[in-house]
Structure 1
């Protein structure tokens, strides 16, 4: 079968698809964020002025950027740094040290990373320092070019700032903030964190050295802006894509996709769940993986399937592999939760509830012996569908061990709808409001 070709550039369809995959995968996998964050002009101006005072005038500062994941903290800082480094003087003198609380898990590792990023390994050599403060002071001193006025400004960026508060004695934070408060070396400490209560984590001596400057970011993204971001992520660039006809057809299909009601429902659910553009990138990436010569555009069904795949509940999926007996035990636990207002229960209570169902409502179920029921109960515990209330409960006799169900009503009902060949009376039992 000959390859299909586009009308005006004579590029084979397979090559067009390959180019689309390459271009959009790079865009989505590298998570290219918008050039300028929207709705944060005052925060942008505040941070830019603050860092400019350190970079250009040698004034030390400390500031925290606080906001939920996906609010644009990193994007704001990245944009401010890009504007700051446009100036030649700043670009030549400003040094940056990037630390992350997930990677630099103690002060020794953090200090090693600071030394590496400042390229001072040869200067430090085999020197032995009496304390962290002495080591840091030596590093900063090594950056001076002769007199005190010619010290190079250093910007310390601490991502996951709250995790540094868990380091022993908060030595790193104390010393960095202490230097930023003194006039010895121009230092700016910028912390990024999701925790609103981050100041409560700091020791008194650390808190006293912090400037208490805080920049709050809350995602102000609206749904129309979110849809606009989807279009921007999927559309092919005008100059930049070699096949004009394919580009035109693809961009028309993206417009049609974004106007489809079912697609809008999927995107609205995603938007209401999280406004983080990185999760949108994951959703679109799943859709893009379906694009091929046979399917040369993203269709509404692709987006619906991707939405279902990414929003699939792991615990609900676990229930699909359970036996009917195990499913019945979960329904019995659901009823116990309803009756006793989510109080803990034990195997004996669950077994009694199950027996009541068999006696009153079921004509299709075999009456399992208690040892078999106990084995099924233990399997649910291994899957962590149920968990002991506390350590003391786990040591009690198995029939009387107090446990809690780790599923809610909606998860159980969703699993029952998808369970293959589930008996009708079991479904009816689950749907009934009484045991």
Structure 2
């Protein structure tokens, strides 16, 4: 193989790696979520074409593709026809940072050290709002109206702190002025978030909820093919051959069977498949120019059990909570109440001979359950207004929990004995 071919392989890999590592990636075509795409576009038509102020929430599990879906919908409109402001409640952890991000998107220069009130006033002026000395706001008609769309990801992080709902109130308050239509789109991992809104926000919010469903296995396969594809005209006919071999590999029955068993059974969110993509690319070299079923099957053969990998990352306290939930009868088949876990089995364990530490606080236990949910180890039905999970159940086999505990040297021996004895 000459240096030119090696360079082509490296360039093909770089295209794919850049694609999956780009936090603002927008796919060329939408796979799955067709109904949700239509619903969001209807909202955007009102906001961008009809210049109305709209608001909606997009709800679904973390990393299911909510933000990508919104960006994909926006990509169908001319960028000159709207101004989009997107930020995460995780990184913009206070109102002033958030409003400065909005000001930046609107090309408003904010001097260092300006207060949040000054920032808001500058934004209002740019949008055509003028406040007199008596505090009365009036609207100035503008010759050209460009709709503004504010997108806040991880809205849950704002709702956790009641004081931070001032940001939502201020944005929704601006949306009621007619000079410049301001629309709001929020994403959340919990559809119960509407119940946690303050009354002043509920009164100004249309409460339109768009639920993101679980991707089908065929969706996941097609997304994998899309992420691993390269332009067909890349490297003369190299891109065409690459894509053809890739598609053939992912329709192979053995590949789809193991992909479903080892991955889809556990993970239905696309980011979980990025490591698999990187593993595939690692095996592409001068001896293996294209992705084949044999390459993918070799990864499945040598790959460590993904469930075991997740369980080994748990701390002793996290494993304790999982173990206590496992001991409750039918916790794998039926949803168990949080009180049954915390005030029942976990409390009994904390008072038993096997205990390795005192019972953790309820808030700490809720945080641990949230992590186990995000890993796909347990499932939750819903939460109440206090943030407590009302019903939960285990998503993985009890044997996996027992086997990992037996081989995990980082767990206290008393905890291992407790788990393995009653799971036998």
Preserved contact between residue 81 and residue 146 of structure 2 (Cα < 8 Å): yes
Greater helix percent: which structure?
1
Match of 2:82 among 94, 106, 113: 94
The equivalent of 1:284 in structure 2 is 277
Who is 2:147 aligned against? 153
Superimposed CA distance per residue, residues 387-425 of structure 1 (whole angstroms, 9 cap, x where no aligned partner): 42147xxxxxxxxxxxxxxx99535532377689xxxxx
Aligned pairs for 1:169-208 within 5 A: 170-208=165-203
Name the Cα RMSD after superposition.
Answer: 4.5
State how far apart, in whole Å, the 2-side matches of 1:188 and 1:236 are. 36
After superposition, the C-alpha distances for 1:310-332 in whole angstroms (9 at most, x for unaligned) are 5443544789xx9xxxxxxx9xx
Aligned length: 353
Equivalence for 2:384: none
Equivalence for 1:116: 104
Q: 1:238 aligns with which of 208, 225, 232?
A: 232
Q: State how far apart, in whole Å, the 1-side matches of 2:305 and 2:397 are.
A: 20
| Cα deviation digits, residues 348-369 of structure 1 (max 9, x gap) | 834xxxxxxxxxxxxxxxxxxx
Q: TM-score, normalised by structure 2?
A: 0.66
2:26 and 2:72 in contact (8 A); partners too:
no
Contact 1:28–1:233 (CA under 8 A) maintained in structure 2: yes
User: Does 2:20 align with 1:21?
Assistant: no
Residue 257 of structure 2 corresponds to residue 261 of structure 1 = no
Contact 1:62–1:188 (Cα < 8 Å) also in 2: yes
Identify if the C-alpha distance between structure 1 residues 419 and 46 changes in structure 2 by more than 3 Å, giving closer, same or farther: closer
Q: Does the aligned pair in 1 maintain the 2:328–2:345 contact within 8 Å?
A: yes
Pick the structure with greater CA Rg: 1
Range that drifts further, 168-177 or 411-420: 411-420
Equivalent in the alignment of 1:401? none
Q: 3-state DSSP class of the match of 2:304?
A: helix
Match of 1:215 among 201, 210, 215: 210
Q: Which runs of 5+ in 1 are unaligned?
A: 86-90, 323-329, 351-376, 378-385, 392-406, 421-426
Q: Which residue of 1 aligns with 2:134?
A: none
Contact kept in structure 1, 2:82 and 2:148, CA below 8 Å: yes
1:52 is aligned, of 45, 48, 54, to: 45
List alignment gaps of at least 5 residues for structure 2: 131-137, 330-343, 362-395, 410-415
SS at match of 1:98: strand
2:348 aligns with one of 344, 351, 355 = 344
State the secondary structure of the residue aligned to 1:121.
coil
* Deviation of the 1:42 alpha carbon: 4.2
1:137 corresponds, among 99, 115, 124, to 124
